[in-house]
């Protein structure tokens, strides 16, 4: 639970004295594994790998921008007093659901440009998203962000963060390790999607299943989150994240029914 992985020696040019944070390391690991997964699936499905890699890069950037914008909307009420805060990502502040929204919107636009099928590509990308998010939450745990509420000291999984200038979590207080819970949940979702993708009945099933499973996971974890600066739709019962999760489940079920019916008709 230390934010810094290591610090470069002072004598090194350019990077001397700078620190590599666990958060950045885990994010980079998730992105790299996501690239490897997408390439593998593109080859398996005989999809143009170069197009997929270009799409992956653009979707990743869109997700980063979307997650930052939603964080600004939720957590920076005085944004216009200092608009450059939008670009200071190193100070923290990414909302995953905003990233999903941004990524999906850009992907809808780009798949038409590349003459690809949206739901087929979404099924390829979403396991990588789940895997990358799992590693990202491990980074959150090391940085102390996205921490849980205070819990009973005797709780089996209670964690106490040290008092470090770089750590965001309140120090020396027993907290629910919500970052680890979410990481574990995402790894399980990833494993299930890997199994399910070979048994799906229509394109889009893997993507929609992910939306449903992650939304359920996130809604439950919100009950135990202690960093509630993102606000509530109905305070203190329904947080913004829970509202987006409920909306995602409704939309996913609606699309599932529609795509399933279309698949059944085409198979007649």
> pLDDT tens-digit profile of 188-210?
999 999 999 999 999 999 999 99
**Residue 184: which of 131, 228, 142 has the closest Cα?**
131
User: How do residues 92-106 score in pLDDT, each as one tens digit?
Assistant: 566 777 888 888 899
Crossing angle for the helix pair 96-113 and 118-143, nearest 10 degrees? Answer: 150
Establish how many alpha carbons lie within 13 A of residue 239's alpha carbon, considering only the half-sphere containing its beta carbon: 20
User: How do residues 147-164 score in pLDDT, each as one tens digit?
Assistant: 999 999 999 999 999 988
Average confidence (pLDDT) over 4-10:
76
Pull the structure tokens for residue 222. 């919100």
**Residue 132: which of 59, 235, 205, 50 has the closest Cα?**
59
Establish how many alpha carbons lie within 13 A of residue 265's alpha carbon, considering only the half-sphere containing its beta carbon: 6
**Residue 203: which of 108, 123, 130, 115 has the closest Cα?**
123
User: How do residues 229-264 score in pLDDT, each as one tens digit?
Assistant: 667 888 888 988 899 899 999 999 999 999 999 998
Contact 10, 16 (CB under 8 A): yes
Strand partners, 258: none
**Residue 117: which of 37, 55, 44 has the closest Cα?**
55
pLDDT value at residue 86: 64
Torsion of CA 50, 55, 61, 63, to 10 degrees: -140
User: How do residues 61-101 score in pLDDT, each as one tens digit?
Assistant: 888 888 878 777 766 666 566 666 666 555 556 677 788 88
Confidence of residue 171 (pLDDT cuts 50, 70, 90): very high
């Amino acid at each position: 639970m230390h934010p810094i992985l290591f610090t470069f020696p002072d004598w090194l040019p350019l990077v001397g004295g700078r620190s590599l944070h666990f958060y950045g390391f885990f994010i980079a690991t998730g992105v790299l594994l996501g690239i490897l997964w997408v390439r593998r699936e593109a080859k398996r499905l005989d999809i143009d790998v170069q197009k997929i890699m270009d799409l992956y890069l653009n979707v990743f950037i869109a997700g980063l921008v979307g997650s930052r914008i939603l964080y600004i909307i939720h957590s920076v009420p005085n944004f216009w007093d200092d608009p450059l805060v939008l670009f200071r990502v190193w100070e923290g502040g990414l909302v995953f659901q905003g990233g999903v929204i941004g990524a999906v919107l850009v992907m809808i636009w780009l798949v038409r440009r590349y003459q690809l099928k949206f739901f087929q590509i979404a099924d390829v990308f979403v396991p990588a998203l789940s895997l990358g998010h799992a590693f990202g939450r491990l980074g959150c745990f090391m940085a102390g962000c996205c921490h849980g509420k205070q819990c009973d000291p005797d709780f089996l999984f209670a964690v106490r963060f040290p008092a470090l200038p770089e750590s965001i979590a309140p120090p020396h207080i027993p907290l629910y390790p919500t970052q680890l819970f979410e990481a574990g949940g995402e790894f399980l979702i990833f494993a299930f999607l890997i199994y399910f993708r070979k048994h799906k009945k229509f394109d889009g099933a893997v993507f929609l299943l992910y939306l449903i499973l992650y939304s359920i996971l996130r809604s439950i974890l919100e009950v135990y989150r202690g960093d509630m600066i993102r606000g509530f739709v109905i305070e203190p019962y329904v947080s913004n994240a829970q509202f987006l999760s409920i909306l995602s489940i409704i939309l996913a079920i609606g699309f599932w029914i529609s795509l399933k019916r279309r698949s059944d008709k085409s198979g007649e």
